[in-house]
Amino acid sequence: MEIEERLRRTRRWLWIVLTGLFLSGVTAFPLEIEVRWLLRALDPLAGQLPALVAWIERVHTGLVTAGTDYPFLLYGTDWLAFAHLVLAVAFWGPLRDPVRNVWVVQVGMIACAGIVPLALICGPIRDIPWFWTLVDLSFAVGAFPPLWFAYRHIRAIEASTAEATGTPSGAGRSATPAS
């Protein structure tokens, strides 16, 4: 496969992740409104999915109560939203120069792996129902594959470039910055 085709594929995979991070960030700000809309949308399914509807009702009540009585708690979700947006910005580096910024993709894959123990440990501690823990785990399942495919293409680009120039793969990259 040509380097240009690998670059196109890498960027396509990275755009999926970047878009997901951006949407996750933007939608974390108006949580109370979004959960209210979700509750309305799920209302017709209350008979078929009672546990899900009850959970969404509980979440909505918690958000409304926190917003009214303890608005500072929702500040945490504002920071969550901000973190998603910052992470989305970080992926501009690999979009521009995937080989040089492969570390961002690696950090993304590590973060996806970290979702699993976080959800499995903290979910039960915070009384999150199992079906919602699966929703949280879906973020890892959804983001890891595009990152992995991008990573594989980046490594292939790096190897092809090294082969073409006669330099060892990874040459010129150092764990510590040059002085």
Burial track 131-152 (b if 16+ CB lie within 10 A, e otherwise): ebbeebbeebeebbebbebbbe
- Least Cα distance to 93 among 5, 172, 176, 154 occurs for 154
pLDDT at 178: 39
CA pseudo-torsion sign 98, 99, 103, 105: positive
Give me the helices (H) in the chain, please: 3-27, 31-42, 50-69, 71-90, 92-96, 102-125, 130-165
- pTM, to two decimals: 0.84
Give the tokens for residue 41. 């949308």
Query: Which amino acid type is present at position 162?
Result: A
pLDDT at 166: 76
pLDDT at 173: 53
pLDDT at 1: 82
pLDDT at 162: 83
pLDDT at 177: 39
pLDDT < 50: residue spans in the chain = 172, 174-179
Residue-range domain boundaries for the chain: 3-165
pLDDT at 3: 94
